[in-house]
Amino acid sequence: MLAVAGELPRDEERWSFELKWDGVRLIAHAGNGRVRYESRRLRDVTATYPELQGLGAELGDGPVILDGEVVALDDGGRPSFQLLQERMNIGSAGAAAARAAQVPVAYLVFDVLWMDGRSTMGLPYTERRALLEELALSGAHWHTPPAFSGEGTATLDAARERRLEGVIAKRLDSTYRPGTRSGAWVKVKLLLREEFVIGGWMPGEGARAGRLGALLVGRYRDGRLHYTGSVGTGFTERMLEHLGGLLAPLRRETSPFAEGAVRPGAVFVEPELVAEVEYRERTREGILRQPSFKGLRDDKEPHDVTDGD
C-alpha cells in the first residue's frame, strides 16, 4: 500500500501519524525461525541485508508478514538515502556482509499483513497496529517506530526539529490495500530551506540554450566559500532574465569556490548574490539533494551565509 502526497489532515483525531523515513520499503515473510525480504518489485533481497536475519528467530514459528522500511543512519542518527545506496544491489553474500560491517541498516516495521494463520489486511489500521505492538519487536537492527494518534501537528513539528523527511498520516479506520496508492495514507513531506551564495552558473541546454541553466552555489566555512551543488529548477522565465542581468557584470575568470567538483563549462561570478533554496537534504559531502530555487535574498551579506547558521 502506498501513500499519496498531500497536506496534514485537518481532522487529526481521525488519523494516526508516523515519522517518514528516507529508506526503501521491504516486505518481511517470517516463519519457522527464518525470514525472507522482498522489495516493492517482489525481488528477493534477503542476502543484501544479512544483519536483518535475526528477526526470523525473534518472530518464531509464525508465519508472519510485515511491512516496513530499511534505513541507514548517518552519524547524527538521521536516515540517509545516500548511505543506504551503498547497501543496495549487492549480489554476493560476502560483499553484503562486508558492507554491513561498514554501513549497518535497520528495519523499521510499521504494519502487519498476516498473523495467526490469517490475513490482517482487511482489519482497520487501529487493530493492525495493536497486533503489531503485541509483537514487541526490539532488536539491534529492527524495531517498530512509534505512532501518534490525533497528534499530526506535534508529529510534524518533531519531524521538522529532527530534520526528517516528514510524516505519514494514516486514517484510523483504513484497511490495507496492497498495490494501491490510497488517500487513506497521506505523506506530508518537509523540505529544508536555507540561503546559499551564488558563485557561478551553468549554461542552459534545449529550451534554455543561451541562458542560465543552473546556479552554482555554496556556503562559507572558515572564511572560504565551499561548493554545495547546482540548482537548476524553480525559476520562472522572468526570474531567469532577471538573474542573467544581475550575473553578467559579476563574471570572473577563476572559481570563487575553495573546493568542490564543478563541471566543465561553468561560468564563474563574484560571490555577491544570495539565493534562497529549498532542498531535501545535504549529502555527507555537503551537496544539496533535490534543490529548488525560491528567490534572491537582499537582507543577508554573502559572508554571513555560513554552515554555522
Peptide bond into 178 cis (omega under 30): no
189 catalytically annotated: no
**For the chain, what is the HEC assignment?**
CEEEECCCCCCHHHEEEEEECCCEEEEEEEECCEEEEECCCCCECHHHCHHHCHHHHHHCCCCEEEEEEEEEECCCCCECHHHHHCCCCCCCHHHHHHHHHHCCEEEEEEEEEEECCEECCCCCHHHHHHHHHHHCCEECCEECCCEEECCHHHHHHHHHHCCCCEEEEEECCCCCCCCCEEEEEEEEECCEEEEEEEEEEEEECHHHECCEEEEEEEEEECCEEEEEEEECCCCCHHHHHHHHHHHHHHEECCCCCCECCCCCCCEEEEEEEEEEEEECEECCCCCEECCEEEEEECCCCHHHCECCC
Task: Please report where in the chains the cell 522572468 appears, as a residue.
Answer: 238
Task: Please report where in the chains the cell 544581475 appears, as a residue.
Answer: 246
Q: Which residue pairs, CB below 8 angstroms and at least 24 apart, start in 153-158?
A: 153/8, 153/12, 155/17, 155/18, 155/19, 156/8, 156/17, 156/188, 156/190, 158/19
The catalytic site residues sit at 20
